[in-house]
């Protein structure tokens, strides 16, 4: 695995260590940044240093923008605007040069030396291919871009035009300076481009660049090429933010005028929204739905969802800041209201009676089929996705999406132990909730008795990539979305549906079983994917030995739950 230039290892673990660029050290307040990555595992350290490096680069960019003279840069500049900007630069140059030259007094021999120097500069300015000329012209262009906050890339047609205009201005300046040294203060132009511009004339007015509107920013952000890999589910959450911004602030509002107070208003409305607001209240605006939910005491979005929404809100304006449309992100680190989840609203583990009802339902004892007829008694005992996913969750603590997205290749042997590998996969729909979510989980003995490994071998032999190919994807691109809706119906028809329980209750049930088995918290959280990412086998670093985790898994039991009717011979 390739190293990262900012990754450094010490005896206490891995660190990010980066030099602050020289030009922003005073503004940044540091010469070097050193930050602990809180892990001793190389693979995890590499993942974390990449994330922290992106954040740090963003801080460096923010510093550079803070040093800029203006709060907005021109996204699109016409040729006429460029010409006017160069005339402003030329006027300032002429005014300063004329004031200096009026005060100069030369002897004859000194005057000739000064004239020769200017003639040399004028001749040099004409040669666009000369490296020294290019350096001088580019230096002036950098100053002009900084003053007017121009977003013009080197090598572009606009940059080439700007180079030509500045070069002509430098030649005109030198020619006029030669004439003044000779005692002639006539302000007539050598180049018609500069007619009427002199130390005595008024300074040309700078062009006014129209600020990008909120609607233009949203459209640009949603179509930004680097976001093509974003899942449909993520796009849907962004659409909520985009709609809220458009309704509350107005799509025509210039983004340079959007304040942090505006973003707080958007946040407050989002935080009072009920789940599925757009579906439940299709004829209401976001603000009306938020107010209605608050007045009626309806259930609000979960703290996790609110945090996700605020992250999206910050991402949109963070993009604007990175592109230079604004100098700072007004939604950065916007705190969410500290709404504690009420105890009665928290998810509960499954009761023994619920587990018995589920695993003795027709789907597990004999049904017509595992599609529409899963709840009707029949002679078919089909073992596909709907059969295995609840069992997997009960005996591994895996999240729903982690179960649904499994590949056949994810079931492996590590140190002689059958394990399930949970990991993200670049370029695919496989994802984990956090960095700690990448882990290996020993296969529980009960799953083996039910025939899980035989099922895996069958799929591998058939050349299947997906472990559960029968599970369809939802509109958001996730197999877990339609499964979640189906599972709710399954619990209702099995007589297992109770308040505060859902598929996620399997995770709470598994956690309680770990406590009953007196598994050390650190190892329990490694299996659950909530630790610092150290849950790897002996061949993968300094984490817990796979055989140790296997011993812990063997201790997981559910007293009173008998699944022998599911065992294979």
Mean pLDDT of 128-152: 79
Query: Of all residues in the chain, what percent carry a pLDDT higher than 90?
Result: 30
Question: Band of the pLDDT at 435, cuts 50, 70, 90?
Answer: low
DSSP letter string over 234-248? HHHHHHHHHHHHHHH
Are both 19 and 56 inside the same structural domain?
yes
Q: How many CA atoms lie within 13 A of 243 on its CB side?
A: 18
Q: Is 1 a member of any domain? A: no
Task: Name residue 440's beta-bridge partners.
Answer: 421
Are both 308 and 452 inside the same structural domain?
no
Domain boundary (283, 310, 344) is at: 344
For residues 44 and 534, is the Cβ–Cβ distance under 8 A?
yes
User: Computed over its alpha carbons, how large is the radius of gyration of the chain?
Assistant: 33
pLDDT beyond 70 at 226: no
Q: What is the pLDDT of residues 535-563, one digit of tens each?
A: 444 333 346 889 999 999 999 999 999 99
Are both 239 and 110 inside the same structural domain?
no
Are both 383 and 528 inside the same structural domain?
yes
Q: Is 538 a member of any domain? A: yes
- Collapse the DSSP code of 80 into the 3-class scheme (helix H, G, I; strand E, B; otherwise coil) and give the result: helix
Query: CA 562 from chain center: how many Å?
Result: 45
Per-residue DSSP letter, 58? H
Least confident of 127-141, 302-316, 457-471: 127-141
Are both 167 and 312 inside the same structural domain?
no
Give the span between the Cα atoms of 98 and 198, in whole angstroms. 9
Give me the pLDDT at residue 291, please: 87
Residue 230: domain span = 214-344
Q: Is 157 a member of any domain? A: yes
Query: Of all residues in the chain, what percent carry a pLDDT higher than 70?
Result: 82
Q: Is 202 a member of any domain? A: no
Are both 59 and 165 inside the same structural domain?
no
User: What's the number of domains the chain is made of?
Assistant: 4
Mean pLDDT of 498-520: 92
Give me the pLDDT at residue 73, please: 43
Q: Is 482 a member of any domain? A: yes
- Collapse the DSSP code of 375 into the 3-class scheme (helix H, G, I; strand E, B; otherwise coil) and give the result: coil
Mean pLDDT of 339-347: 54
pTM above 0.95, yes or no: no
Residue 465 CB neighbour total at 10 angstroms = 11
Are both 440 and 517 inside the same structural domain?
yes
Are both 532 and 408 inside the same structural domain?
yes
Least confident of 332-341, 460-469, 558-567: 332-341
Are both 558 and 466 inside the same structural domain?
yes
Domain boundary (344, 378, 402) is at: 344
Q: Is 208 a member of any domain? A: no
Give me the pLDDT at residue 359, please: 96
Domain boundary (344, 370, 385) is at: 344
Are both 498 and 523 inside the same structural domain?
yes
Q: Is 234 a member of any domain? A: yes
CATH of the domain at 546: 1.10.443.10
For residues 540 and 417, is the Cβ–Cβ distance under 8 A?
no
Q: Is 86 a member of any domain? A: yes
Are both 146 and 226 inside the same structural domain?
no
Are both 378 and 458 inside the same structural domain?
yes
Give me the pLDDT at residue 132, please: 78
């Amino acid at each position: 695995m390739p190293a990262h230039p900012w990754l450094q290892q010490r005896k206490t673990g891995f660190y990010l260590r980066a030099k602050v660029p020289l030009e922003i050290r005073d503004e940044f307040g540091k010469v070097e940044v050193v930050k602990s990555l809180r892990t001793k595992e190389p693979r995890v350290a590499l993942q974390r240093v990449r994330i922290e490096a992106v954040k740090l680069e963003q801080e460096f960019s923010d510093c550079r923008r803070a040093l800029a003279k203006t709060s907005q840069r021109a996204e699109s500049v016409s040729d006429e605007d460029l010409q006017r900007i160069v005339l402003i630069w030329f006027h300032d140059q002429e005014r300063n040069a004329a004031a200096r030259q009026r005060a100069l007094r030369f002897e004859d021999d000194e005057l000739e030396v000064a004239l020769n120097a200017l003639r040399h500069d004028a001749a040099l300015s004409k040669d666009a291919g000369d490296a020294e000329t290019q350096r001088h012209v580019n230096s002036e262009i950098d100053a002009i871009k900084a003053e007017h906050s121009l977003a013009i890339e080197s090598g572009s047609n606009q940059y080439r035009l700007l180079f030509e205009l500045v070069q002509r201005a430098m030649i005109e300046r030198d020619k006029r300076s030669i004439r003044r040294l000779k005692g002639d203060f006539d302000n007539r132009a050598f180049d018609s481009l500069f007619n009427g511009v002199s130390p005595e004339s008024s300074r040309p007015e700078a062009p006014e660049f129209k600020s990008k509107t909120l609607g233009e920013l949203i459209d640009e952000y949603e179509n930004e090429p680097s976001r093509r890999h974003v899942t449909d589910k993520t796009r849907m959450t962004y659409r909520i933010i985009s709609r809220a911004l458009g309704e509350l602030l107005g799509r025509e509002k210039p983004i340079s005028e959007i304040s942090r107070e505006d973003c707080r208003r958007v946040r407050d409305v989002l935080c009072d929204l009920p789940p599925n607001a757009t579906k439940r209240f299709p004829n209401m605006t976001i603000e009306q739905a938020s107010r209605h939910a608050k007045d009626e005491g309806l259930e609000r979005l979960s703290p996790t969802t609110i945090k996700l929404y605020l992250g999206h809100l910050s991402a949109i304006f963070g993009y604007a800041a990175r592109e230079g449309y604004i100098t700072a992100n007004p939604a950065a680190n916007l705190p969410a209201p500290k709404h504690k989840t009420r105890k009665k609203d928290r998810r509960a583990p499954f009761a023994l009676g619920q587990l018995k009802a589920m695993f003795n339902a027709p789907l597990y004892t004999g049904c017509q089929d595992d599609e529409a007829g899963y709840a009707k008694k029949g002679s078919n005992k089909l073992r596909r996705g709907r059969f295995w996913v609840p069992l997997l969750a009960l005996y591994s603590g895996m999240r729903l999406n982690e179960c649904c997205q499994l590949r056949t290749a994810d079931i492996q042997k590590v140190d002689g132990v059958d394990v399930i590998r949970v990991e993200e996969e670049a370029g695919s729909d496989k994802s984990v909730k956090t960095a700690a979510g990448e882990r290996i989980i020993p296969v529980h003995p009960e799953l083996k008795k039910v025939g899980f490994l035989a099922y895996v071998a069958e799929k591998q032999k058939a050349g299947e990539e997906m472990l559960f190919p029968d599970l369809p994807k939802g509109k958001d691109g996730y197999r877990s979305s339609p499964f979640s809706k189906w599972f709710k119906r399954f619990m209702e028809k099995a007589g297992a549906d109770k308040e505060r329980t859902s598929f996620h209750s399997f995770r709470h049930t598994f956690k309680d079983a770990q406590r009953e088995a007196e598994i050390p918290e650190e190892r329990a959280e490694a299996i659950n994917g909530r630790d610092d990412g150290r849950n790897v086998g002996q061949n993968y670093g300094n984490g817990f030995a796979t055989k140790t985790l296997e011993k812990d898994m063997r201790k997981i039991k559910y007293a009173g739950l008998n699944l022998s009717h599911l065992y294979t011979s």
